[in-house]
Amino acid sequence: MALTLFRGIQTRPFLPYPYGLFPRKHVLFYATMKSTQTQTATHEKEQPLLKVSSHTHSKRLDNVSKGYEAIIGIETHVQLYTLTKAFCSCPYSYGSQPNTTICPICMGLPGALPVLNSKVIEFAVKLGLALNCKLSLNSKFDRKQYFYPDLPKGYQISQFDIPIASGGFIDLDIPVEFGGGHRRFGITRVHMEEDAGKLLHTGNGSYSEVDLNRAGVPLLEIVSEPDMRTGIEAAEYAAELQRLVRFLGVSNGNMQEGSLRCDVNVSVRPIGQLEFGTKVEIKNLNSFSAISRAIDFEISRQVLLHNENQSIQIVQETRLWDEGAQKTVTMRKKEGLSDYRYFPEPDLPEVILGKEYIDSIRDSLPELPEMKRRRYEKMGLSMQDVLFLANDINVADFFDATIDKGADVKLAANWIMGDIAAYMKNEKLSINETKLIPQELAELIASIKGGTISGKIGKEILFEMLGKGGTVKGLIKEKDLVQIVDPVEIERMVDKVIAENPKQLEQYRGGRTKLQGYFAGQIMKLSKGKANPVLLNKILLEKLNAKS
Amino acid sequence: MLSSVQNPRFLLLHLPPKHLHFATTKAIHTSQTLALSPSTSPPVSQILTLRHSLLSRRSTAVELAEAYLARLRRTEPQLKSFLHVSENALKEAAEIDRRIERNEAVGPMAGVLVAVKDNICTADMPSTAGSRALEGYRPPFDATAVRKLRESGAIVIGKTNLDEFGMGSTTEGSAYQVTANPWDLSRVPGGSSGGSAAAVSARQCVVSLGSDTGGSVRQPASFCGVVGLKPTYGCVSRYGLVAYASSLDVIGCFGSSVTDTGILLHAISGHDRFDATSSKRQVPAFTSQFISKDLLESKPLKGLRVGIIRETIDDGVDPDVISSVCGAACHLEELGCIVTEVSLPSFSLGLPAYYILASSESSSNLSRYDGVRYGNQVVADELNSLYGNSRAKGFGSEVKMRILMGTYALSAGYYDAYYKRAQQVRTLIQKSFKEALDKNDILISPAAPSVAYKIGEKKNDPLAMYAGDIMTVNVNLAGLPALVLPCGFVEEESTSLPVGFQMIGAAFDEEKLLKVGHIFEQTLRGCNFVPPLVADDFPC
Ligand SMILES: [Zn+2]
């Protein structure tokens, strides 16, 4: 299966922090990691599950940050997968020509008014319930005011003091490679708001252009409690959120397109200290591994400053993750607290949720990742299998459907995680995009188990079905692939091969018994792989050892 | 400064009953010897007259439009009520004539020339809201109210002057021009819908749309001697109304008669899916129950409970205005109403609460005029100066002051003391209106504490100007409907200036207000609310 390699801080001797942090003897070690570095970001889309090839990195970090603990909280913006924007009837699709999906409302023209898309509420309630939150039966929208050219009204419609959902938690399992274990992280709040447009900076930088296609696209902002302690935990939190929004169908959760954006707050404090250290915000995290690496870099940077008695240099600021340089850099220092002058949005009525409405949504919730994982665990699958299968809703659905058709749980998991996953990775397809259907996978497993076909033939059929479709029965018939179990027929083939190889027979009988493999191979070839290997070998041995 | 009070003569001449406390104010219509203008007939609906002429083929829409346009051209140089006059009015009138000729159905407002306040969006005309910040701005859409008007056959004749973004009470706050009062060109028409009020008063159009955030329809209606209606919040869609204070703004109606005002309201009300605050209630046919004055019984309003708000006929209000309003109260009583005094203890809190809330919302609503998209963008090499300079150039001083006040009131650390407090006052005011309206069918008060004052008189005294809104702001805070009717005149410097009184109803009780207003207007004698400026070519 595909492994997304998680790597630690890339060593670049001219960078002050990592170089200063790690003793020289490790340079070689880090240098070897560099070669795989480029791989890391690219697999995220298909494969949000984080995998690491060694524990070494986190151990290094542990050494560096000995005596300190990091406090990590995440603010996530999820773009909702609604047909139209939050307050107007414009569609939104990522990558459209600039300013082609806009109208007077999302342009903020004078006199235009927002009208809430009810899907936004539905999706917010879904996610709120999935995050085990308390829902506010009576919430409202507020205006968050600031000036920026991508914000056409000069304020963002958001929710301030009464978010639609609050006080929840998310459960997840840390992959075995990272030490494993179950975690529960608190969710402070979930609130609804609208996205801003985008600034396009021209080549020579003398002016900027505004694209308002994204303005007014509905977002849910999910704020976590500061419950995470490592980059891995933070990345796994984000990955679980992505799974959740995809399972719920409220967002495509695509990080590259900005449908799921994470801003991370990191502070460190000496273990035992009660008050938090100075919080630094990190933006521009476009993948889970970027989240993890950026946080670990930032922890190291802050710990180093503490160790050098330079903690005064840790200031409240926003830092950007520089993917190329693998470090965080200052974007803007926060000068005092910004005052957004929130006040209730007078253009929109209050959001009132009825109990029946909430119940109907609760009843319609699909099985969520955590429930799936616990169910798979109970089926006796290993945690590695469980995490793989429950990672992608399509894979999970495929697996479940295969099991429903009576397939053996472990065998089905093996096929999916093995050859099918490899095929999906090579062809860059999702499991639904292959031509294989669960029923046929179940059939395939049954055919092998029942001896109709060999495992080898089974693989052949599998790839045929993945690429071109068809049924197991049909392919066996079409290609005449039924295993030969008739001893008479096998004996005939054995006789033929022995007769054609008198020299080898002589050598065998002269003591070179290894030649049995040669004979078996020739017979299998003659049978086009269909001969039952047990029978074949039994008959072959009898013939070879028979006194002439 | 004040000279004699000219009292209107009422249908039934009785002394006011003894139990009325307010009768102790200046004498009301007791002097029958006072010289009155020759007895005039009550106002006639221009819309119904015009419709009758059109459908009976007595005149064409083009002829009718030309008559109004001629008057507009003649009076406009003195009045300056319009910021823009449509070039298509006659073309649109000709289209109506063609339809009538082909015996096709025409809408209830067919051929009616409507002037539209320039803070209401029109796709074919500029919509500047009286601000340089929107100079040359042409919206790509019609406001819902305008769209509905056009769908009912009305012709938008032009865009009327206003105080910038509706912030003001004199129309002097326009970035473009100062509008004069048709009754006395040296006086203000009121504001902020001064252009729309003056245009109806001078019969430059049949009816007009204004907007009312704190009295911007009602006060100019009183100053110009026309009927002004502020509908219930949510009755008329705000879509396309350039926002000043969203929780208070409503589009309102001006007419020279209650019937016209009611027909106009009917044409523009109703739920709009583009305004989340618009009501889904069924719109009644406001004028269908109107009874011709010849068929009225002697006490047509028998049993109607009318409360006159004590706090509005108190110190600080022009005694002549009080006299006129009390006269109107007597008239209502003679029509059969039971008039009593009611007290709204929270009344005086309305003004500060209003200015905090309206300024707060406006500071937010006006953020979009940042020089990035409309108006004049000031060249700057840095974003903050682009914002700062574009806004400094785009906004007038009154607007800047309100943005500053609102920004301050919403700032961290001040929010609770100002905005939150004002919201609490608002709740209190809503409660006290509810109580008063549980005991009374309608409440009455002056529409403004004075008659129209001189241009420039209060320009440098914003607090005095703000104080002039005392009669009207409470109604916006409560979201209630109110109808202002001309009820008499005050003589100042040998000029007769109209006085209006305000009738406040329960939410969505426009039908009742209009019905009472119609009876009041039809039975009021001795008042001719056509200004001398146009009396010659607009015989009443
Ligand atoms: Zn739009």
| CA Rg value for chain A | 30
Under DSSP, is residue B221 helix (H, G, I), strand (E, B) or coil?
helix
In percent, the amount of chain B with pLDDT more than 70 equals 92
Q: Does residue B212 contact residue B487 with C-beta atoms inside 8 Å?
A: no
Q: Measured in angstroms, how far is the CA atom of residue A129 from the centroid of ligand 1?
A: 29
Catalytic annotation present for B201 = no
The length of chain A is: 548
Of B129, B246, B412, nearest to A346 by CB-CB distance is B246
What's the rounded Cα separation, in Å, for the pair B31 and B13? 11
Distance from CA of A281 to the nearest CA of B (A): 22
The Å distance, Cα A211 to ligand 1 centre, comes to: 12
- Chain A residues whose beta carbon lies within 8 Å of the beta carbon of residue B427: none
In this prediction, residue A59 has a pLDDT band, given cuts at 50, 70 and 90, of low
**Is the CB of A104 less than 8 angstroms away from the CB of B141?**
yes
Q: From ligand 1's centre to the CA of A93, what distance in Å?
A: 13
The verdict on residue B410 lying in a domain is no
Which range has the worst mean pLDDT, A59-68, A141-150, B290-299?
A: A59-68
Q: pLDDT per residue over A303-354, tens digit each?
A: 999 999 998 999 999 999 999 999 999 988 866 668 999 999 999 999 999 9
Does B113 map to a domain?
Answer: yes
Give the model's confidence band at A455: pLDDT under 50 very low, under 70 low, under 90 confident, else very high. confident
Mean pLDDT calculated for residue range A499-524:
90
B246–A110: do the CB atoms touch at under 8 Å?
no
Q: Residue A529: its pLDDT value, please?
A: 82
Smallest Cβ–Cβ distance between A145 and the set B137, B241, B367 belongs to B367
| Helical pair A231-248 and A118-130, crossing angle rounded to 10 deg | 130
Q: Single out the residue of A160, A197, A163 nearest to residue A85, CA to CA.
A: A197
Enter the tokens of residue A18: 């990592």
For ligand 1, the distance from its centroid to the CA atom of residue A91, given in whole angstroms, is 8
**pLDDT for position A486:** 87
Tell me if the pTM is above 0.80. Answer: yes
| Cβ proximity of A156 and A197 under 8 Å | no
Residue with tokens 């997840």: A172
Active site residue B117: yes
pLDDT averaged over chain B? 91
Domain assignment of residue B423, yes or no: yes
Contact residues for A97 (Cβ-Cβ < 8 A; gap 6+): none
- With contacts defined as CB-CB under 8 Å, which chain A residues touch B415? 341, 343
Look-up of token digits 């009898």: A542
| Banded model confidence at residue A450, pLDDT cuts 50, 70, 90 | confident
Q: How far is A117 from chain B (nearest CA, A)?
A: 11
Type of residue found at B515:
K
- Nearest chain B Cα to A152, which residue? B368
Q: With an 8 Å Cβ cutoff, are B243 and A343 in contact?
A: no
* Spatial distance between the Cα atoms of B398 and B409, rounded to a whole number of angstroms: 16
Q: How many domains does chain B have?
A: 1
Q: Which range marks the domain in which residue B72 is found?
A: 3-356+418-535
Chain A residue numbers touching B361 (CB-CB < 8 A)? 343, 346
Averaged pLDDT for residues A429-457: 90
Q: CA torsion, points B370, B368, B249, B44, in degrees to nearest 10? A: 70
**CB–CB of A111 and B246 under 8 A?**
no
Which of chain A's residues have a Cβ under 8 Å away from the Cβ of B238? 113
- Which of B211, B204, B206 has its CA nearest to residue B230? B211
Does B75 score more than 50 pLDDT? Answer: yes
Average pLDDT over residues A485-493: 89
Q: How far is A286 from chain B (nearest CA, A)?
A: 28
Does residue B375 form part of some domain? no
pLDDT cut 90: percent of chain A above it: 70
Q: Domains, chain A, ranges and CATH?
A: 2-36+56-335 (no CATH), 367-479 (no CATH), 487-545 (1.10.10.410)
- Residue B370 included in any domain: no
Q: What end-to-end distance do the CA atoms of chain A give, in Å?
A: 51
CATH of the domain at B12: 3.90.1300.10
By Cβ distance, the residue of B134, B411, B412 closest to A110 is B134
Is the Cβ pair A113, B274 closer than 8 Å? yes
- The confidence score (pLDDT) of residue A65 equals 75
Residue A171: its pLDDT value, please?
97
> A155 to chain B: which residues are within 8 Å by CB?
364, 367
Query: What number is the average pLDDT over the span B370-398?
Result: 89
Q: Which of A102, A109, A198 best tests the B interface by mutation, with the highest count of B CBs <10 A?
A: A109
Q: Dig out the tokens for B464 from the structure.
A: 């005095």
Active-site residue, from B81, B152, B169, B192 = B192
Taking an 8 Å cut-off on Cβ atoms, the answer to whether A349 and B411 are in contact is no
d(Cα A415, Cα A391) in Å, to the nearest integer?
Answer: 16
Tell me whether residues B247 and A346 touch, CB distance under 8 A: yes
Residues forming a β-bridge with A119: none
> Cα dist. A124→A165, A191, A192, A251 in Å?
8, 7, 7, 11
Residue B163 lies in a domain: yes
Q: What is the pLDDT of residues B228-260, one digit of tens each?
A: 999 999 999 999 999 999 999 999 999 999 999
Would you state the pLDDT for residue A480?
Answer: 74
Q: How confident is the model at residue B538 (pLDDT cuts 50, 70, 90)?
A: confident
User: Is the CA virtual torsion B61, B66, B72, B75 positive or negative?
Assistant: negative
B240 min Cα distance to partner chain A (Å): 4
The SS3 assignment for A456 reads: helix
Indicate the burial class of B317 (C-beta count within 10 angstroms; 0-12, 13-18, 19 or more).
buried
Residue A29 has pLDDT above 70, yes or no: no
Facing A111 at nearest CB: one of B240, B361, B363: B240
What confidence score (pLDDT) does residue A335 get?
A: 63
The residue with greater pLDDT, A115 or B288, is A115
Distance CA A89, CA A83 (A): 8
Q: Is B192 one of the annotated active-site residues of the chain? A: yes
What is the model's pLDDT at position A79? 97
Torsion from C-alpha of A374, A379, A382, A386, nearest 10 degrees: -50
Is there a domain that residue B391 lies in?
no
| Pairs of CB atoms within 8 A across A/B | 97
**Run of H or E residues at A331:** strand A327-333
**B188-208 per-position pLDDT tens digit:** 999 999 999 999 999 999 999
CB spacing of A111 vs B415 below 8 angstroms: no
Please tell me which of the candidates B139, B276, B412 has its beta carbon nearest to residue A113: B276
Residue among A104, A107, A347 minimizing CB distance to B246: A347
CA-closest candidate to residue A77, choices A293, A250, A233: A250
Q: What is the pLDDT of residues A104-155, one digit of tens each?
A: 999 999 999 999 999 999 999 999 999 999 999 999 999 999 999 999 999 9
Q: Please check the confidence at residue A368 and state whether its pLDDT lies above 90.
A: yes
Ligand 1 center from residue A108 Cα (angstroms): 9
Contact between A71 and A184 under an 8 Å Cβ cutoff? The reply is no
Q: Using CA atoms, how far apart are residues A489 and A96, in angstroms rounded to an integer?
A: 65
Alpha-carbon distance B125 to nearest alpha carbon in chain A (angstroms)? 14
**From B81, B86, B117, B131, the catalytic residue:** B117
pLDDT grade for B273, boundaries at 50, 70 and 90: very high
According to the model, what pLDDT value does residue A325 have?
A: 92
Minimal Cα–Cα distance from B452 to chain A, Å? 30
- Establish if B374 belongs to a structural domain: no
Identify which of B398, B394, B419, B329 has the alpha carbon closest to the alpha carbon of residue B191: B398
Q: Among all chains, which residue has been given the structure tokens 């649109």?
A: B92
- pLDDT category, A58, cuts 50, 70, 90? low
pLDDT at A544 over 60: yes
DSSP A119: H
Chain B residue with Cα closest to A103 = B140
Q: Do A215 and A107 form a contact (C-beta atoms < 8 A)?
A: yes
CA distances, A170 to each of A253, A309, B75, B270, B442 (Å): 17, 37, 72, 46, 57
Per-residue pLDDT tens over the stretch A201-260: 877 777 888 999 999 999 999 999 999 999 999 999 999 999 999 999 999 999 999 999
Quote the minimal CA–CA distance from B407 to chain A in Å: 8
CB atoms within 10 A of CB A176: 14
DSSP labels for A301-324?
HHHHHHHTT-GGG--SEEEEEETT
Contacts of A203 (CB under 8 A, 6+ apart): none
Of the candidates B493, B499, B458, B490, which has an alpha carbon nearest to the alpha carbon of residue B1?
A: B493
**A347 contact residues in B (CB cutoff 8 A):** 243, 246, 276-277
Residue B56 pLDDT > 70: yes
> Are B276 and A347 an interchain contact pair (Cβ–Cβ within 8 Å)?
yes
Of B86, B216, B237, B359, catalytic: B216
User: Which of B245, B374, B387 is facing A147, going by the closest CB pair?
Assistant: B387
Helix (H, G, I), strand (E, B) or coil at A486: coil
